[in-house]
Amino acid sequence: MAIKNIEALKISGKKVLMRVDFNVPIKDGVITDDTRIRAALPSINYVLKNGGKAILISHLGRIKSEDDKKTKSLKPVAVKLSEHLGKEVKFVPFTRGAEVEKAVSELKDGELMMIENTRFEDYADGQEVKKESKCDEELGKYWASLGDVFINDAFGTAHRKHASNVGISQHIESAAGFLLDKEIKFIGGVVDNPQKPLIAILGGAKVSDKIGVIESLIDKADKIIIGGGMMFTFLKAMGKNIGKSLLEEDKLDLAKSLMDKAKSKGVELILPVDTIAAKEFKNDTEFRTVSCDEMANDEMGLDIGEASIKLFTEKLAGAKTVVWNGPMGVFEMENYAQGTIGVCKAIASLDAITIIGGGDSAAAAEQLGFADKFSHISTGGGASLEYLEGKVLPGIAALDK
């Protein structure tokens, strides 16, 4: 796919409509984590420095009632953004209409404004109308009419066909912002044209969340390493006793067929050889390292063991691309974080393109102090997974003209 990027646009003197992802957590009117606001700064600064007039749009949460509108205004985000930029951010508390148009017409080069939460368009006159979320034709066209060019920098909603991404792209010249561009380069690179050998490390809670990713990666990867809660469904499918470990009974056949498929494609599928097992799902309890062949009926595996870390580290050697999705164990509890730390260390030491594609995996890398050791940490959650599955993301496809 040939996607135009922000640097290919003429910005100076133009009204630049920018779809950003300001879907930040807000508690009692206070933003508790402004990562997403900071992440949008490079694209915003680029437009302002190049003499564009920036019109920012974003969604925030879901709007299913009038009450939702009271707690999900983007006003606090405009205030926070203004602090980061050291510059006034004109906030218009509407999603369309005369006030919006007036503010746009008054914008000078290098200035910026923001309109209200795009999802306010999902609820009107006492009912859910989903104009934003169902990509209402007229709404997309209206927003497009506010700008000369459009920059989409919201990867988190790229897997959705909404008026504020796809709808607008259909009407004016569009390009990817820096954030979206990076996701396309890295995640898109894994899917379309990875540097080989490509090794995938998959973990996390459930097989069922990752079926699409595993299936897609079996066609592309040279090796697939499996850890986390999902490893036990595979181990059980191999006939091993997994005690009280996390099991998806209805995915046993699938696990078997995935293992067969990997074999027939010549993809090495690597499972842990030992686990950290406890009798209860908590940190402060007795635990032991045990071989995956010798688990007792009353214990559950909560992390991979040291022999598995060693095995995974050896298998990772020589990789040119590594994509990691899903922690190796219950990393939120100190006693079961070693597996995830071990894998982070192994990845960090590689001379390879290294990518994290998952919300909890990213949080783990952050919490354990490895975030800066990766080439790319995807910001998407659902969008990252769907992109890794090889699906076409509507928000990105709409930029391809």
Q: Which residues bind ligand ADP (CB under 6 A)?
A: 203-205, 209, 228-229, 246, 301-302, 325-327, 329-330, 332, 358-361
Element (H, E) at 113: strand 112-115
Q: In the complex, what is the shortest distance from the CB of residue 364 to ligand ADP, in angstroms, rounded to a whole number? A: 7
Selected catalytic residue, list 329, 358, 359, 380: 359
Query: What would the two tokens of residue 34 be?
Result: 């402004």
Tell me whether residue 139 or residue 362 sits nearer to Mg ion (CB atom).
Answer: 362
Residue 164: phi and psi, rounded to 5, are -80, -5
Selected catalytic residue, list 36, 131, 160, 251: 36
Termini Cα distance of the chain: 9
With 0-12 / 13-18 / 19 or more C-beta atoms within 10 angstroms meaning exposed / middle / buried, residue 32 is: exposed
For 40, 243, 359, the CA distances from 395, given in Å and listed in that order, are 17, 44, 20
140 binds, among Mg ion, ligand ADP, none (CB under 5 to 8 A by kind): none
- Other beta carbons less than 10 A from residue 209's beta carbon: 15
Q: In the complex, what is the shortest distance from the CB of residue 339 to ligand ADP, in angstroms, rounded to a whole number? A: 8
| Calpha distance 361→211 (Å, rounded) | 17
Tell me whether residue 136 or residue 360 sits nearer to Mg ion (CB atom).
Answer: 360
Tell me whether residue 48 or residue 254 sits nearer to ligand ADP (CB atom).
Answer: 254
Active site residue 203: no
Active site residue 177: no
Tell me whether residue 120 or residue 287 sits nearer to ligand ADP (CB atom).
Answer: 287
205 binds, among ligand ADP, Mg ion, none (CB under 5 to 8 A by kind): ligand ADP
Q: In the complex, what is the shortest distance from the CB of residue 275 to Mg ion, in angstroms, rounded to a whole number? A: 21
Q: In the complex, what is the shortest distance from the CB of residue 68 to ligand ADP, in angstroms, rounded to a whole number? A: 26
Active site residue 36: yes
194 binds, among Mg ion, ligand ADP, none (CB under 5 to 8 A by kind): none
Selected catalytic residue, list 69, 161, 206, 256: 206
Tell me whether residue 55 or residue 226 sits nearer to Mg ion (CB atom).
Answer: 226
Residue 305 near residue 273, CB atoms below 8 Å? yes
How many whole angstroms from its chain centre is CA 5? 20
Among candidates 59, 61, 119, 56, which has minimal Cα distance to 89? Answer: 56
361 binds, among Mg ion, ligand ADP, none (CB under 5 to 8 A by kind): ligand ADP
Active site residue 229: no
Give the footprint of Mg ion on this chain (CB under 5 A).
359-360
Among candidates 341, 375, 343, which has minimal Cα distance to 356? Answer: 375
Q: In the complex, what is the shortest distance from the CB of residue 55 to ligand ADP, in angstroms, rounded to a whole number? A: 33
Among candidates 167, 216, 175, which has minimal Cα distance to 194? Answer: 216
Residues annotated as catalytic (active site), given as ranges: 36, 206, 359, 382
